[in-house]
Structure 1
Amino acid sequence: MLGRIISPLLIRRPHLIWTRNLLTMKLKTCEFQSLLSEGLNAVAGLFEKHQFELRIAGGAVRDLLSGKRPEDVDFATTATPEEMKRMFQAAGIRMINNKGEKHGTITARLHNENFEVTTLRVDVQTDGRHAEVEFTKDWEKDAERRDLTINSMFLGLDGTLYDYYNGYEDLQNRKVRFVGSAEQRIQEDYLRILRYFRFYGRVVPEPGDHEPETLDAIRDNASGLAGISGERIWVELKKMVVGSHAGHLLELMYDLGLVQYMGLPPDGDIEEMKRVWQNAKDSSPKPMTVLAAFFHRPEEVDKMDLRLKVSKEEKTLAQFLVKHRRELHKCPDNPDSLTPFTDFIIDSRELDSKLKVCELLKYQGEARLLAELTDWSTPRFPVSGHDLRRLGVTSGKEIGSTLQELRDVWKRSRYQMDKEELLSHVHH
């Protein structure tokens, strides 16, 4: 339970302080202490010297409160981008990747670490995809413009938590809620609909514990996803599909009318998806392995690709699964045998065929065969055209047909024959 994870993080209960809108407390954990590197301490000292506040922001705070060391740490500050640039330049600190400067982000490079620092801001105008921002020194205003309460907290480098919208309480109770009005937050950026589902899978222990007003806001604003780029949708969808409750969440997305704006088939096979999710969830499936269950025909994968702009590997995996999920399966007479799958891999001669067949076994729920295939090494056909030329076979057509005949012999030997044995079958 998250409550058991969080409660030891408080140094002492009296350090928990409530004001009208703000909860503060002191955090002192090994995960937090491990972030306080030489580089961060130097950057923090610089901000303090120039009398600007600097705090850890957003997802990193959520992770720390959950007992995890965050992979990425973002910082927020009261300094403007211009003030940060002057400060870093005067201190001889290199700045990189400043494409985010117009949104208030400056990235400093110090002691082989990158520190991404963003000025506190408010959204002046939004169109559901982009926002025009205005800088502020008000921490609560910045927290108010964030998507979910659990992502709206700040953490001072002395360990003080700043929580304006009950994010700490929601995290303790394993709830996912929008900051303020769900409808308003969604209309600021419609991608937040999918972020809600992704974080639901990460935080909430039960599959159906949604607040009705949140689902109403999502349903009423579903069409807003039409204006979101396919690439952004795919990034969120991929993360959600491999999280907890993905079967439930994908079904809910159909119920709420979202999928027509996301490239998934309107008549997707929901029962097949739920079955595949149950089969595959403990085997670390690729996102496309679960989503492939929705498609009835390989051509539907093309329509999804037009919308989501998936990678070539993801697209071909989906097409492979839709095409072979019924015809390539274990032998009824010998269900313990890998033969149908290994034969397919060797016959296909494609570099990624083993990977695809492993995903097929996840799709089918064949955990034991999957484990065996994972340990299996693809045998290498020992004969080449060069070997045949040395025996006097010179016609290109004859070389091709002879190699295929030898492959058939090799296959019948269960891939045991070596080059010498195979070449003994060549008649010339």
Structure 2
Amino acid sequence: MWSRILSPRLIGRSSLHWRSLFTMKLKTSEFQSLFSDGLNGLAEVFGKHQYELRIAGGAVRDLLSGRRPDDVDFATTATPEEMKQMFHRAGIRMINNKGEKHGTITARIHNENFEVTTLRVDVQTDGRHAEVEFTTDWQKDAERRDLTINSMFLGLDGTLYDYFKGYEDLQKRKVRFVGSAEQRMQEDYLRILRYFRFYGRVAVEPDDHEIWMELKKMVVGNHVDHLLELMYSLELAQYLGLPPDGNVKEMKRVWQNTKEHSPKPMTVLASLFHRPEEVEKMDLRLKVSREEKTLALFLVKHRRELLKNQDEPQSLKPYTDFIIDSRELDSKTKVCELLKYQGEEKLLEELCRWSIPHFPVSGHDLRKIGVTTGKEIGATLQNLRDIWKKVVIRWTKMNFSAT
């Protein structure tokens, strides 16, 4: 099928978000079969009044996939009022114009119905219904659509107009949201379901989602507490690799604690997990990085543990102790995320100012003074480390009390 599509080319950059507009000519039997007396009549009316008319959305996706679409929707630069005027002058009957508020006029020509919608942008949405504003900018209309493979237009001369690499995604069998997945889902929550519906139609592999990249963007954006709660209410979370009985109440608390402190995505998501085994299952599903996985396991394990046996409330001691004892390079980063998780703003500020001291003694130093056996070296180093840690903690306490 792809060999029958001719002349791909880039025609330049849009002024909006520096997107590249990709165009090419489509010459397939499926496309040619759409041209009936009715469609020719529709094209003649719009051409006469010099308004652009293109095939939009899912019909373009189907045609590029080698299928003749069952339904064909059209988009135009003409407003609903302008369409009504030219259809009236041409003696064309209009029916079922309930969609006029959102820009859709249905014309009946040669016993065929044609739904034509004015290009539009969403100016306000409540998560299901939108107030729209009409435009003549094709890219702005493409920007408000859900998936890249549904955001393309096809001129009646066979020219494809693709602003968001929808054609490339279709070739690669990828299902991606246009722009920000979070914004698309906030505009219409049912787009979450549409993602999975089209994944089932387009993708080759059953588990080749780009979910983690989109989920990461969402959980550090706005309204994440509401969006994650919605995913659980729609019973979608388990399909994203999240625990089916995730702790939504804890997630809301953690989001309130962290949202002003630039949390890592995993810091927010870790609140949903009850047990380390759930982190392992998530990793199998989402294929997160090693750093992200170890952070999640750290938070699930230590979100309560580091507070045990703490003699002084609001003390930095258990956290600095942990960092000093740990020999991992990112231990301070993990503890900072833990303090964000717990909502310990004062301790977080103190820890950010604290520099990890370097333990000044090594096994090589001990050998120089005659300590030779491995067991003795290990025991001596541990004793010295304990003494050194007490000095460091005393210094830290004095330093912070002074500031």
Q: Could you tell me the TM-score, scaled by structure 1's length? A: 0.55
Which one has a bigger Cα radius of gyration? 2
Q: CA deviation at 1:343?
A: 0.4
Matched, 1:165 2:119: yes
Counterpart of 1:265 in structure 2 is 243
Q: Quick check: 1:225–1:261 contact (8 Å CA) kept in 2?
A: no
Paired residue for 1:198?
A: 182
Please tell me whether the aligned partners of residues 243 and 273 of structure 2 are also in contact (alpha carbons under 8 angstroms): yes
Provide the secondary structure at the position in 1 that maps to 2:20: strand
Contact persistence 1:265–1:294 (CA under 8 A): yes
Contact 2:310 2:318 in 1 (8 A): no
Report the count of equivalent residues: 275
Q: Which amino acid aligns with 1:199?
A: Q
CA distance in 1 between counterparts of 2:303 and 2:199 reads: 31
Supply the AA of the counterpart residue of 2:269: L
SS of residue matched to 1:413: helix
Note the alpha carbon deviations across 1:268-290, whole angstroms, 9 max, x for none: 00000111011101100000000
1:311 equivalent to 2:289? Answer yes
Note closer, same or farther for the CA distance 1:275–1:395 as it changes in structure 2 (3 Å cut).
same
Q: How far, CA to CA, are the matches of 2:321 and 2:372 in structure 1?
A: 29
The letter for the 2-side match of 1:248 is: H
C-alpha distance in structure 1 between counterparts of 2:20 and 2:281, whole Å = 40
2:317 aligned partner: 339
1:300-342 Cα shifts (integer Å, max 9, x gaps): 1010010100000000000000000011138765334211100
- 1:358: how far off? 0.5
Tell me the equivalent position of 1:403. Answer: 381
Residues 248-263 of structure 1 mapped to structure 2, 5 A cutoff: 248-263=226-241
What is the aligned counterpart of 2:20 among 75, 98, 101? 75
Shift of 1:78: 4.2
Question: Relative to 1, partners in 2 of residues 1:359 and 1:55: Cα closer, same or farther, differing over 3 Å?
Answer: same
For 2:296 and 2:314, locate their aligned partners in 1 and report how far apart those are by CA, in whole Å: 26
Change (3 A) 1:322 1:255: same
Q: How does 1:22-421 map to 2 (within 5 A)?
A: 54-56=12-14, 61=16, 70=17, 73-78=18-23, 132=65, 165-167=119-121, 170=122, 172-173=123-124, 198-199=182-183, 214-215=188-189, 218-219=192-193, 229=207, 232-329=210-307, 333-414=311-392
Amino acid across the alignment from 2:244: P
In 2, are the aligned partners of 1:361 and 1:369 still within 8 Å (CA)? yes
Q: Shift of the alpha carbon at 1:402?
A: 0.7
Structure 1 residues 331 and 142: alpha-carbon distance in aligned structure 2, compared to 1, 3 A threshold? farther
Residues of 1 paired with 2:378 and 2:275: CA distance? 34
Look up the match of 1:86. none
Question: How many Å separate the matches in 2 of 1:404 and 1:340?
Answer: 18
Identity %: 53
Deviations for 1:24-56, whole angstroms, at most 9, x for unmatched residues? xxxxxxxxxxxxxxxxxxxxxxxxxxx996451
Summarize the Cα distance change of 1:126–1:315 in structure 2 as closer, same or farther, 3 Å threshold: farther
Query: Contact between 2:146 and 2:191, CA under 8 Å: does it hold in 1?
Result: yes
Root mean square deviation, CA, Å: 4.2
- The answer (yes or no) to whether the contact 2:254–2:268 under 8 Å persists in 1 is yes
| 1:263 to 1:355, Cα distance in 2 relative to 1, 3 A | same
Letter in 1 for 2:261: S
C-alpha contact 2:146 2:178 (8 A) present in aligned 1: no
- Aligned equivalents of 1:357, 1:364: Cα separation in 2: 10
Taking the aligned partners of 2:10 and 2:366, their CA distance within structure 1 comes to 77
| Amino acid corresponding to residue 74 of structure 1 in structure 2 | R
What CA distance in whole angstroms lies between the structure 1 residues aligned with 2:319 and 2:282?
28
Q: For residues 302 and 385 of structure 1, what CA distance do their matches in structure 2 show?
A: 37
Q: For residues 352 and 342 of structure 1, do their structure 2 counterparts lie closer, same or farther at Cα, with a shift above 3 Å needed?
A: same
Question: For the Cα contact (< 8 Å) 1:280–1:365, is it kept in 2?
Answer: yes
CA gap 1:52/1:121 in 2 versus in 1, 3 angstroms: farther
Q: Distance in 2 between matches of 1:315 and 1:381?
A: 28
